[in-house]
Amino acid sequence: MLPMVAVLVINWNGAEETRACVSALLATSYARKRICVVDNGSGLDESAILAREFPGLDTLRLPDNIGYAGAGNAGVRWARAAGADYICMLNNDTTVEPDFLDVLVRASEELGRHAVLTPLILRPDGRVWSAGGRLDWPKVAGEHVGIGGDPDDFRERRIVDWASGCALFASASTFAQAGPLDERFFLYLEDVEWCLRARRRGVVIHYVPEARIWHGVTKTIGRIDPRISRYYAYRNYYLLGFRHSSPLWKAWFSAHLCFTLAKAGLRNLLSARYRADAVYNARTRALLDVVAGRRGKAPYEHRLEAPPVSV
């Protein structure tokens, strides 16, 4: 019998993108799959709207936005309870090729079940968005391999440092071995942190270019308050560094944090332009919250105007 694959589509006020993602998943050739839309506290109950449109679609409605990490964890719990052998977590602004799941299941069987797989992720223009993740040690700075490149230049499988949360594929047992995504990150870098933790527990992360998806690239992030993305980017980078760097580099992160805060304080004292810059102040707030130990949701209203939805 074919292994059962549970595909989790994380949705937040993005029904139009999710509709296209689900349509593409339903068209995949893999026979034994369940698709679940995890609705992360959207203004409308978009999971119910989509369930009416796609009979047989599984849905999980969360009453509040608990971040990508929280929604992903809720979806993984659903998938394990549903008896999934493999779990695939996807951003809602992705579309997949028809053989996507066949390729990943076959690759996982070849590479061993204690592995995380990441596909070739393409931009709408057909160029590379991610061919796996690379980390710049010891500063723990992550980047996507191949951004803007020709996909033909990234045809070889290889072991990578991390896999983007845009598309994570692993066995249910590997998800259990790695543990849940850290919900204190809420959004941004939770995928890098999870992969680093998984690697320490014996999991290997593989880039599998035969599996291809298309990513709308920041369709959601581009529609929210820019202070939010700036806040998470800065706060979570330091959280990642303090958690996964060596003792010597933890000292470097501490010194760098103190220097950056001092510089921000001086700029705000001397410059009206910096005092009036809301996005710059969000960065400063993020650094202060690192010191204060504040985690989870950023202290700004998380609002995203939902696009028109046909009911």
Q: How much is the average pLDDT of 163-179?
A: 97
Rg over CA atoms, the chain: 20
Which pLDDT does position 74 carry in this prediction? 98
Domains, the chain, in order of start with CATH, read: 5-221 (3.90.550.10), 225-292 (no CATH)
For residue 84, give both structure tokens.
């999934």
Strand boundaries in the chain, DSSP class E: 5-11, 33-40, 58-62, 86-91, 94-96, 115-122, 128-130, 133-136, 141-144, 158-159, 167-171, 204-215
Q: Flag whether pLDDT at 22 surpasses 90.
A: yes
**Alpha-carbon span 81 to 85, nearest angstrom:** 11
At 235, the pLDDT band (50, 70, 90 cuts) reads very high
Per-residue model confidence (pLDDT) at position 184: 97
User: Does residue 126 come out as left (phi exceeding 0), alpha (psi in the -120 to 50 range) or beta?
Assistant: left
pLDDT of residue 221: 62
Task: Specify whether the CB–CB gap between 190 and 101 falls below 8 A.
Answer: no
pLDDT at 297: 96
pLDDT tens track for 258-308? 999 999 999 999 999 999 999 999 999 999 999 999 999 999 988 864 444
Give the pLDDT confidence score for residue 44 in this predicted structure: 87
Res. 143: pLDDT tops 90: yes
Residue 7 in this model has a pLDDT that exceeds 80: yes
Q: Which region, left, alpha or beta, applies to residue 300 given φ > 0 means left and ψ of -120 to 50 means alpha?
A: beta
Residue of 230, 157, 168 whose CA lies nearest to 195: 168
Backbone φ and ψ for 250, nearest 5 degrees, come out as -60, -40
Angle between helices 278-292 and 226-244 (to 10 degrees): 30
User: Does the pLDDT at position 310 exceed 50?
Assistant: no
- Per-residue confidence (pLDDT) for residue 303, from 0 to 100: 80
Q: What is the mean pLDDT of residues 66-84?
A: 98
Does pLDDT of 218 surpass 90?
no
Mean pLDDT of the chain: 93
If residue 278 lies in a helix (H) or strand (E), which one and from where to where?
helix 278-292
With bands split at pLDDT 50, 70 and 90, how would you rate the model's confidence at 231? Answer: very high
Instruction: Please give the average per-residue pLDDT across 70-79, as a whole number.
Output: 98
Q: Tell me, what's the pLDDT at 220?
A: 59
Does residue 311 carry a pLDDT above 50?
Answer: no
Residue 105 or 216, more confident: 105
CA dist 36 and 55 (Å) reads 12
Contact 286, 264 (CB under 8 A): no
- Given a contact cutoff of 8 angstroms between Cβ atoms, the answer to whether 224 and 304 are in contact is yes
- The reported pLDDT for the residue numbered 162 is 97
Which pLDDT belongs to residue 126? 95
pLDDT of residue 213: 97
Instruction: Quote the pLDDT of residue 114.
Output: 87
